[in-house]
Amino acid sequence: MLKLAVLVSGGGTNLQAIIDAIDNGSITNAKIEVVISNNKNAYALERAKQHGIEALCISPKDYEERAEFNQAFLEKLNSYGVDLVVLAGFLVVIPEMMIKQYRNRIINIHPSLIPSFCGTGYYGLKVHEGALARGVKVTGATVHFVDEGTDTGPIILQKPVMIEQGDTPEVLQRRVMEQAEWKILPEAIDLIANGKVEVVDGKAVIKK
């Protein structure tokens, strides 16, 4: 049984998609051990509690030094003995010591088809604003392993979403969530939980 920690900063719609997929059997062999947020007001924490999942907040604001927060965060995470860390809209930079310790065991969902509209400064609505400003016809979402770069780790799954006439960043954000993010994040977790993903030469390979 793959033990998950889900890290969140906001409403937790991707967390909800994972909870629902575990409940309906589309994610097998996995359970959420803990949900951690950097924001005590994140509705995601409420979602976790409603499903009997341990939920806690560890905020950088409670520490004088960022290094102190990073250390406390990692120690807390380690105390749960999880196998996979899922970043589901987590707006805190993951410290290098955590990436090293959890190499190829941290995944992130990003609301574009990497390498487009990703990297520093591209998060939340800014991704969709960028796509619309550039006039691309297709966007989507990507699940990838986390490495030391920003959105540069091995890509596990991608799903395209068509851009429609009259889209606003908010409308596009919602469609990318519904048509891509909420589908491929649970799918990636299920693949990993069942031993079907490995990283070879810096690329994620899905085994049949």
Residues marked active site are found at 110
Burial (CB count <10 Å: 0-12, 13-18, 19+), residue 128 = buried
Contact 39, 9 (CB under 8 A): yes
Planar angle of CA 203, 85, 47, nearest 5 degrees: 135
Q: How far apart are CA 73 and CA 90, in angstroms?
A: 13
Q: How far apart are CA 58 and CA 70, in angstroms?
A: 10
The CA-atom distances, in angstroms, between 107 and each of 62, 65, 87, 142 are: 26, 26, 6, 10
Contacts of 59 (CB under 8 A, 6+ apart): 38, 39, 40, 69
Bridge partners (DSSP) listed for residue 140 = 160
Contact 205, 14 (CB under 8 A): no
